[in-house]
Amino acid sequence: MKKTNVLLGSAMAAALSMALQASAQGGPAPVPKFEHEKCYGIAKAGKNDCQTANSSCAGTSKRNGQGDAWVYLPKGSCEKVVGGSLQPRQG
């Protein structure tokens, strides 16, 4: 009976780890199908779409409003957002 429990536990752990791995962010975010622009300086920590000065992957910004982290927004809306910029800023 104990072997069965160990085998069942191992199978459940493997299934959970595969599900977590599949949902993990990595690489650039997919390009949206709408007309878009990159908006710098407004992403929440860990919610950027891609690329900062220190990383080339999505979800890697270290703090809210990081000047070199960007997100996709509909074209023409970035400069309407407080703190939004079409060009990266230091920090």
What is the secondary structure of 57-88 as a DSSP string?
STT---STT-TT-EEEEETT-GGGSTT-BSS-
Handedness of CA 55, 58, 63, 68 (dihedral sign): positive
Q: Where are the domains of the chain?
A: 26-80
* Secondary structure class of 40 (helix, strand, coil): strand
Give the pLDDT score at 16: 47
* Confidence (pLDDT) at 22: 42
State pLDDT tens for residues 55-64. 777 778 888 8
Interval 21-73: pLDDT, tens: 444 445 566 787 889 999 988 888 887 887 777 777 777 888 887 878 888 99
Give the global pTM.
0.59
